[in-house]
Amino acid sequence: MKAAFMKGVGEVVVRDAEEPKPPAGGALLEIEACGICGTDARTFFNGDPRAPMPWVLGHEPVGTLSEVGPDAELPPGVRAGDRVFLGSILTCGKCRWCLDGFQNLCERHELYGYDPHPGAFADVALVPAIAMKNIIPLPKDLPSDIATIADPFACALNGVEILDPTYGDTVVIIGSGPIGCMQAVLARDRGATHIYMIEVSKERLDLALSVVGSFVDDAWTTQEDNGTAGVNERTNGSGADKVIVAAPSKEAQRAALAMAGRRARVVYFAGLPKADPVTLFDANELHYKELAVLGSYGATHRQYRITMEYLNRRRNDLDGIVTHRFELDRIADGFDTIRSGTGLKVVIQP
Query: What is this structure's pTM?
Result: 0.94
Which pLDDT does position 157 carry in this prediction?
98
Mean pLDDT value across residues 37-46:
92
Which pLDDT does position 253 carry in this prediction?
97
223 pLDDT exceeds 90?
no
What number of other Cβ atoms are within 10 A of residue 139's Cβ?
A: 13
Alpha helices in 213-330 (DSSP H): 228-234, 250-259, 283-289, 301-313, 315-318
Contact criterion met (CB below 8 Å) for 138 and 311: no
d(CA 79, CA 66): 9
First to last CA, the chain: 10
Task: With CA atoms as reference, report the closest residue to 220 among 244, 197, 193, 246.
Answer: 197
Beta-carbon contacts of residue 88 (< 8 Å; ≥ 6 apart): 37, 59, 60, 111, 112, 113, 134, 151
Is the CA virtual torsion 25, 78, 2, 338 positive or negative? negative
Set out the domains of the chain in order of their start, with CATH numbers. Answer: 2-138+314-348 (3.90.180.10), 153-295 (3.40.50.720)
Find residue 61's DSSP bridge partners: 34
Q: Which amino acid is at 50?
A: R
Mean pLDDT value across residues 116-138:
96
